[in-house]
Amino acid sequence: MNSIALASQPVPISDAPLLALLIRNRVCAGFPSPAEDLGARRIDLTQMLVTHAQATYFLRASGHSMVEAGIFDNDILVVDRAIKPRNNHIVVAIVDGDFTVKQLYQRQGRIKLKAANPTFPDIVPKEGQTIEIWGVVTSSIKQFPV
């Protein structure tokens, strides 16, 4: 099961802005493009990534069950608890007391938590099993070794 590492009880992010410098030019991920003068402006990462500050949490993903959705081991997930989960949302769920991240599948009143890796099974609630959708993943932040 792909899990979410929680050091302690999660706390919402603060309202303080996370500022960074955004270079106006795009960087080509294919063939290089001619260099241009680099213009820049400050952006607020909180404004870009967070809609509901008091209901938004950062959680670290652990595992490989969501790689086809672009979520990898050690990514930081931005999770908004104020968003009503819908079909196909990536969600953080609590299954029998354990956190997991999966894609929510809802059809005809039934739900299933789908892995985004064919080597991992989907989670289909069994009779008496407790599943709570804890929040909706809105972003994934990757950190590369430097």
Catalytic residues: 65, 102
- Token pair in block for residue 74: 């050690």
Would the CA dihedral through 50, 47, 15, 62 be positive or negative? Answer: positive
Task: Please answer whether residues 74 and 143 qualify as being in contact, where contact means their C-beta atoms are separated by less than 8 angstroms.
Answer: yes
Task: Please answer whether residues 62 and 46 qualify as being in contact, where contact means their C-beta atoms are separated by less than 8 angstroms.
Answer: no
